Every structure is written in C-alpha cells, then in structure tokens.
Amino acid sequence: MPDSVKYLLDEARIPKAWYNIAADLPVPLPPVIHPGTKRPIGPEDLAPLFPMDLILQEVSTEREIPIPDPVRDIYRLWRPTPLYRARRLEQALDTPARIYYKYEGTSPAGSHKPNTAVAQAFYNKQAGVRRLTTETGAGQWGSALAMACQFFGLECTAYMVKVSFEQKPYRKVMMQTWGAEVIPSPSERTRAGRDILERDPRSPGSLGIAISEAVEDAATHEDTKYSLGSVLNHVLMHQTVIGLEAKQQMEMAGDYPDVVIGSVGGGSNMSGLTFPFLRDKFNGNAVRVVAVEPEACPTLTRGDYLYDFGDTAATTPLLKMYTLGHSFIPPAIHAGGLRYHGDAPLLCLLYHHKYVEAVAYHQHPVFEAAVQFARTEGIIPAPEAAHAIRKAVDEALICKRDGMSRTILFNLSGHGHFDLGAYEAFLAGKLEDYAYPEEQVERAMRELAAIQP
C-alpha cells in the first residue's frame, strides 16, 4: 500500500501577496453600520483601535496585497506548512476518495492564528504603536498574538476569560513565556470590568466581557491599539496564505479538489483555505466549499442573516452576518474556538448567496473522527479542526457508497496538545452532546429587531 504522502513547498513559494477576495465578490458586501447613527462607518471611526494600514486593508478592493518582507521572514519559521495526502485514513475508510489536508499546527503557537497575528503586529509596530490589547478565551489567539508581539518588540496585554485563566493555565503560561501580560477578565483595569465586578464580584467572565475590556484599554491609551483574531476582512485575508500554498501543493500532487472543507468559529481558518479556491468558483469552477460548525452553536445552519454586534457587550459596530444573537452564550463544548454567536461577514455573504455550504455536527461524532484520524495519520487534532475531519470522512464515505473517486481537501488548523482533557472525556464515554439551545437562541434573536438599520 502506498503510504501517506507529504507535499512540501520550497520556501521561495511562500506567497508574496495575500489574496483579497473583495476584488472578486460576485455580490457586494453590506457596509459596516454605526449602531448610533445607523449609517456606514468610515475609516476614521476605526482609527482609535487599528493602525491605518490595517483599516485600509479592511476596505481595500485590490486583488493582491503584498506581504511585507519582515512578515514573510517570520512566516518562514514554520511556513510553507505541509499538505498531506491521507492515504492511511483512506485505507481505513476503504474509500475510493482522495483525501488531502493542509496542516497549520506546525507554527510554534500550534495553529493558523500566527498568520494574522504576525501581520497585525508588524503594521502596528510600523505605525509606532507601543502595545497591543486583545481578548482570549482558552488562549489560542492570545498565545499567537503574544508570540507575534515578542517578535516585533511590542508589548501585549491579553484579557483572558477568568474561568479559563483559572482552570486552563497552560495557554496562559505560554503567553507569559512569550512575554505577554495576561489579565483575568473581568478585571479592575477597565471601567467595563469594574462595572461587572460591582454587580457580580465572582463573575467567571466571558469572551464578550474580555472584548469590552481590551477595546476600552486600547481606546483610552494613546500608544495602544486593539487586535482581533478572526471575523474582520483583513484577518481573513492574512489567512489566505493557507489556501495559496495549498493550491500550489495540489498542483504538485497533480490534483484539484472537488470539495474544500473548513471548520468555522469566526471564519478565519476556513476562509484562509477556501477563498483562493472560491476565486476559481467565481470563474466557473465547480468546486464545492463547505463550512463545518458545532450543533451547539450552529450560526450558519440555524441563524438569521441580520445586522448584529460583534461582541456580547454590544460595543462594536454592527456587522451583517448570520447570527444567533450577540447575547447568546453557547454551551461549553470542547471546541472553544467555535463558540461564536456570529461569523465573518465575508463568509456569511458567500453562504447567503450559496457559494458556500454549511453543516453542523455534535461533538461525539467529531471526536470519533478525531481519534480515527490520530490512529491513522498520527497527528492528534484540535477539536475545532476535527469538525472539518468529520465532514471530510463523511464525504469520503459517500464516495465509497457511490463508488465515486472524488478529491477532498480540508484544513487541519491546529493540533490538540492543549485539548487532551477533551479526549480523556471522550475515551471515558463522558462526552456530552449538547442539544441545539433553541430557547436561548430565540431569546437572543428577539433583541435583534431593534438594532436593524
């Protein structure tokens, strides 16, 4: 049996430009709206939070944005990342399908997140910023930004959801090892934090509260900006290095995908892999593009396409997206990175116009696929990435049933070294499948009518 195959690119083939899908959209992207005026916001509205280079990327319609050399130099520490043909998994499934995956877990932070963290740190340093603030849940994004800031000599302050800070200390230690200041949120540092603590001194915190604290910290300090790890256009664009490399590697393999799959929390890893393939689709290619989400937080498959706040505390501008309502708090599934009430506006637009499909899974079948993958291909996947594996396996099983050989490509966005507690629960038969929280979502959705422009 031919064994699993790794396709490695030469370093010279790390992309020299990001792909900006805004140049090729077949339908226009709805504007971002100011919640007070209900009118589109302009670059100046974002200036307190982001450096102008990133704001210009956010609204750019240039197809290619050059990747600055210092960013590529850091990418080279782990990029190009490998693309694998998962022949051992194919054999285990006894499928005629060809399964490929792009592996982003080789970065020092263990996921795709540094692709944008490094770019954001660079542009902030260029703009004379001294310090970046951000929020982080379990710490995947915070650790990527901490590392990136360290590379460029920026200070980094990460507001970490207090319950994670206390219960999952290892990502916190990772951030500190890379020199970041990690603050359990809610904190006494900000008015937002103090308000929460006054009402509830034992608040466990939430991502929404942490965003409010990070934004306030940046907005109230001259030399400080704010950084976000997903959702925004420029963040998704930075991630297109994944798909641009994968296209070259599929060419090396002499193949092209019939279906491209990514898991979706805010949308950055999925968009990073799929946007370069969607460009082909806009030009008539039949490639299918599939977003995979958790049944406990099924934004695309069960949400509505409306304007909503990006954060739970309702402090951001309004974004047109599939949403379950910003006040909806998803159940505590192990794929913490997929617990987001909305999704990136670019991805939502393309889903709305049927360029992208979506499917939702319970965590039990997701972990079944994760363990099968670990036992055949070796790598223990992050629970987030395992959602994409589940869908890839299901597509391969359809090929088996139909006796069809299709080409499947998915993004393995990170490893599961910090998620072994979840594997322990699964292997012990103690993993809970949360039902779709219909009532909570309906309650959260009712609030949205009032804020539509």
Span interacting with a second copy, options 72-80, 128-136, 246-254, 316-324, rule CB under 8 A: 72-80
288-294 sheet: strands from edge to edge:
5-7, 83-85, 98-103, 407-412, 259-263, 288-294, 357-361
16 binds a second copy (CB under 8 A): no
Contact 423, 379 (CB under 8 A): no
Phi, psi of 96 (to 5 degrees): -80, -5
Could you tell me the two tokens for 297? 């937080």
176 binds a second copy (CB under 8 A): yes
435 binds a second copy (CB under 8 A): no
421 binds a second copy (CB under 8 A): yes
91 binds a second copy (CB under 8 A): no
29 binds a second copy (CB under 8 A): no
Which residue from 48, 68, 96, 179 is in contact with a second copy, where contact means CB under 8 A? 179
- Contacts with a second copy in 238-297 (CB under 8 A)? none
CA–CA separation, 37 vs 226, rounded Å?
23
Q: What is the DSSP letter of 111?
A: B
108 binds a second copy (CB under 8 A): yes
The number of residues that bind a second copy (CB under 8 A) is 42
166 binds a second copy (CB under 8 A): no
Closest among 300, 356, 295, 289 to 323, alpha carbons compared: 300
4 binds a second copy (CB under 8 A): yes
378 binds a second copy (CB under 8 A): yes
CA–centroid distance for 112 within its chain = 8
- Contacts with a second copy in 215-244 (CB under 8 A)? none
To the nearest whole angstrom, how small is the minimum distance from the Cβ of residue 325 to a second copy?
35
Instruction: Name the 3-class secondary structure at 244.
Output: helix
To the nearest whole angstrom, how small is the minimum distance from the Cβ of residue 36 to a second copy?
42
Could you tell me the two tokens for 292? 């995979």
Amino acid letter, 340: Y
- Contacts with a second copy in 298-337 (CB under 8 A)? none
**Beta pairing partners, 409:** 100, 260
Residue 362 neighbours by CB under 8 Å, 6+ apart: 294, 295, 296, 433, 434
Give whichever of 73 and 198 is closer to a second copy, judged by the CB atom: 73
To the nearest whole angstrom, how small is the minimum distance from the Cβ of residue 69 to a second copy?
9
Span interacting with a second copy, options 21-29, 229-237, 389-397, 420-428, rule CB under 8 A: 420-428
Which residue from 16, 26, 64, 170 is in contact with a second copy, where contact means CB under 8 A? 170
Phi, psi of 429 (to 5 degrees): 70, 25
Span interacting with a second copy, options 27-35, 130-138, 145-153, 309-317, rule CB under 8 A: 145-153
Contact 56, 43 (CB under 8 A): yes
HEC profile of 432-448:
CCCCCCHHHHHHHHHCC
Which residue from 191, 375, 443, 446 is in contact with a second copy, where contact means CB under 8 A? 375
Which residue from 48, 56, 58, 106 is in contact with a second copy, where contact means CB under 8 A? 106
- Strands in 221-330 per DSSP E: 224-226, 259-263, 288-294, 304-309, 318-323
Q: Is 126 exposed, middle or buried (0-12, 13-18, 19+ CB in 10 A)?
A: middle
Give whichever of 319 and 335 is closer to a second copy, judged by the CB atom: 335
* Contacting positions for a second copy (CB under 8 A): 3-6, 8, 11, 70, 73-74, 76-78, 84, 88, 106, 108, 110, 147, 150-151, 169-170, 173-174, 176-179, 371, 374-375, 377-380, 417-418, 420-421, 423-424, 427
